């Protein structure tokens, strides 16, 4: 059990289904709750990661952005964020990862500034960010941190913004932020900001493996041949499978589920190795998330997933490994 000064959290979640090679809260029960509606001085939040069950690119727009169609799924892997009001104006950020910015370049800073400025909040805020979601890995870690800070400041200061209003503000920070505010299963279109909620992903176990290579999202999109892709994922078929609650139908369509693999897999052979290993270990599907390099595998049984976890751990193909589940609760204000 980890003791915190205040036990107020983003949502009610339990860790009993999570295991990880580097996750410090394995097995700890979070005593959450107490959703005070108005002003409070301290708050702790969980910022959850996402995976892409499908990712298609329709075209490159004239402004350089890519039009996408993606199926997003929140998973129960998270960063922890502690917020505390300060009497002195200003935003202080500290993080457990030395290589992350702790200035205005951190997305948590941007999120805090956006609301403090808009609502002319006097005084400042201290943000303690403990990162566990793999960084620059296609899991929207930074966007989720920003979403959590928007959510937290809205509640701490009793700003009264609705989920939709938080999402509108989130898109100013990044295209994935609105989805991270919303959470659950969703279709993301446009540049990722046009969201349609989808039926929840059927229960399963998800093995997440981040290899020791770094992939820049920019590099991937710059090298993508958007007008000559060798395949397009069956996003509508995946939607249908979700509506039917059909895990096998969903997994069957994930074989060619992410067009960004056309850039990353030739460049980083470890991605294909991770996928193959997961499939050999009984995964229903194994796919790269976002622009990678993180790979996730979908398993029907906990036993098989645990076995695959052990195989990957022994093989040293991944630097970070998580065994987790889908997270299907929407944001609750």
For position 135 contacting ligand ATP by CB under 6 A, the verdict is: yes
Neighbours of 324 (CB within 10 A): 24
CB of 220 to ligand ATP, least distance (A): 9
Of 57, 83, 125, 140, which lies in the binding site for ligand ATP, with binding defined by CB under 6 A?
140
139 near ligand ATP, rule: CB under 6 A: yes
Are 280 and 308 contacting, i.e. CB atoms less than 8 angstroms apart? Answer: no
Q: Report the distance separating Cα 214 and Cα 269, nearest Å.
A: 13
Q: Which two tokens stand for residue 69?
A: 């169609």
Q: Give the span between the Cα atoms of 180 and 9, in whole angstroms.
A: 16
Residue nearest to ligand ATP (CB): 142
Residue 258 is a binding residue for ligand ATP (CB under 6 A): no
Strands 285-288 and 205-210, by their bridges, are unpaired
Contact 261, 229 (CB under 8 A): no
191 touching ligand ATP, by CB under 6 A: no
Measured from the Cβ of residue 235, the count of other Cβ atoms closer than 10 Å reads 20
Does residue number 320 form part of the binding site for ligand ATP (CB under 6 A)?
A: no
State the nearest-atom distance from the C-beta of 74 to ligand ATP, in Å.
Answer: 13
Residue 56 found at the interface with ligand ATP (CB under 6 A)? no
| DSSP-assigned letters across all residues of 199-234 | PPPPS-EEEEEE-S----HHHHHHT--GGG-S----
Contact indicator for 256, 235 with CB cutoff of 8 Å: no
| Site membership for ligand ATP, residue 176 (CB under 6 A) | yes
Q: Which of 91, 107, 171, 188 binds ligand ATP (CB under 6 A)?
A: 107
| Residues with catalytic roles | 50, 176
3-state helix, strand, coil split of the chain in percent (to 5) is: 30, 25, 45
Applying the rule CB under 6 A, the residues between 145 and 164 that interact with ligand ATP are: 145
Binding mask 263-292 for ligand ATP (x = CB under 6 A): ---------------------------xx-
**DSSP E strands, 240-319:** 285-288, 295-299
- Alpha-carbon distance of 249 to 44, in angstroms, equals 38
102 binds ligand ATP (CB under 6 A): no
**How near is the Cβ of 281 to ligand ATP at its closest, in Å?**
25
Residue 143 interacts with ligand ATP (CB under 6 A): yes or no: yes
74 binds ligand ATP (CB under 6 A): no
**Among 23-31, 133-141, 241-249, 270-278, the segment contacting ligand ATP (CB under 6 A):** 133-141
Please count the helices (runs of H) and the strands (runs of E) in the chain.
10, 11
Binding residue (CB under 6 A) for ligand ATP from 40, 136, 159, 311 = 136
Using rule CB under 6 A, residue 261 touches ligand ATP: no
Interaction of residue 293 with ligand ATP, rule CB under 6 A: no
Does residue number 44 form part of the binding site for ligand ATP (CB under 6 A)?
A: no
Q: Which residues contact 99 (CB under 8 A, 6 or more apart)?
A: none
Q: Work out whether 45 is an interface residue with ligand ATP (CB under 6 A).
A: no
Q: Which residue has the tokens 């898109």?
A: 171
Buried b / exposed e over 241-256, threshold 16 CB at 10 Å, is: bbeeeebebbbebbeb
Q: Which stretch binds ligand ATP (CB under 6 A): 60-68, 136-144, 229-237, 252-260?
A: 136-144
Task: Tell me: does residue 100 bind ligand ATP (CB under 6 A).
Answer: yes
Q: Under the rule (CB under 6 A), what is the footprint of ligand ATP? A: 100-101, 105-108, 129, 131, 135-143, 145, 176, 217, 290-291
């Amino acid at each position: 059990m980890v003791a915190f000064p205040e036990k107020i959290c983003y949502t009610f979640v339990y860790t009993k289904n999570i295991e990880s090679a580097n996750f410090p809260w394995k097995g700890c029960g979070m005593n959450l709750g107490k959703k005070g509606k108005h002003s409070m001085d301290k708050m702790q939040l969980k910022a959850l990661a996402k995976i892409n069950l499908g990712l298609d690119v329709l075209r490159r727009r004239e402004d350089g952005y890519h039009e996408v169609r993606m199926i997003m799924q929140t998973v129960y892997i998270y960063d922890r964020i502690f917020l505390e009001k300060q009497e002195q104006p200003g935003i202080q950020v500290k993080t457990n990862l030395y290589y992350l910015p702790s200035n205005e370049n951190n997305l948590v800073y941007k999120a805090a500034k956006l609301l403090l400025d808009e609502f002319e909040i006097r005084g400042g805020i201290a943000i303690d960010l403990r990162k566990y979601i793999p960084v620059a890995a296609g899991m929207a870690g930074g966007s989720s941190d920003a979403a959590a800070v928007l959510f937290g400041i809205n509640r701490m200061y009793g700003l009264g913004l609705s989920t939709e209003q938080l999402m509108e503000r989130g898109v100013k920070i990044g295209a994935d932020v609105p989805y991270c505010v919303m959470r659950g299963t969703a279709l993301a279109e446009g540049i990722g900001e046009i969201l349609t909620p989808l039926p929840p992903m059927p229960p399963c176990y998800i093995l997440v493996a981040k290899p020791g290579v770094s992939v820049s999202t920019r590099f991937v999109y710059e090298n993508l041949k958007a007008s000559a892709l060798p395949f397009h994922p069956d996003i509508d078929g995946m939607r249908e499978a979700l509506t039917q609650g059909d895990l096998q139908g969903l997994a069957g369509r994930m074989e060619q589920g992410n067009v960004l693999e056309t850039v990353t897999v030739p460049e980083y052979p470890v991605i294909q190795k991770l996928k193959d290993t997961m499939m050999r270990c009984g995964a229903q599907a194994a796919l790269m998330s976002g622009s990678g390099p993180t790979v996730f595998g979908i398993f029907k049984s906990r036993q098989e997933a645990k076995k695959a976890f052990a195989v990957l751990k022994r093989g040293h193909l991944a630097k970070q490994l998580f065994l987790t589940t889908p997270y299907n609760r929407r944001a609750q204000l």
